Amino acid sequence: MSAGVLAGTAEVLLTYPIESNKIKAQLPHGLYAKLRAQEVARGDISFFSRRHYRGCGTMVIGNAAKTAVRFGVYDILSKKLQDKDGYVSPPASLAAGLFAGFLESVILVPFELAKVRQISSLEEDPRKNGTINSFRRIIQLHGPLGLFYGFLPTLLRQGATSAVRFTSFNTIRQMASGFIDPGDHLSNTGQTQIDLLASYIAIVSTMPIDVTKTRMETLSGRIATGGSNIKCVYQIFNNEGFSKFFSGTAARLLRATVSSLVMFSL
- Per-residue pLDDT of 85-142, as tens digits, reads 778 787 888 788 778 777 877 888 899 999 999 999 887 777 778 888 999 999 999 9
Chain mean pLDDT for the chain: 85
Per 3-state DSSP, what percentage of the chain is helix, strand, and coil (rounded to 5)? 80, 0, 20
Q: What local confidence, expressed as pLDDT, does residue 88 receive?
A: 79
C-beta of residue 23 within 8 angstroms of C-beta of residue 214:
yes
Report the C-alpha gap between 20 and 69 in whole angstroms.
24
Q: Does the pLDDT at position 164 exceed 80?
A: yes
- 187 has a pLDDT exceeding 80: no
Q: Which residues contact 65 (CB under 8 A, 6 or more apart)?
A: 107, 108, 111
What number is the average pLDDT over the span 11-37? 90
For the cut 90, the answer to whether the pLDDT of residue 258 exceeds it is no
- Rounded Cα distance, 235 and 246, in Å: 15
pLDDT at 214 over 70: yes
- pLDDT tier for residue 264 given thresholds of 50, 70 and 90: low
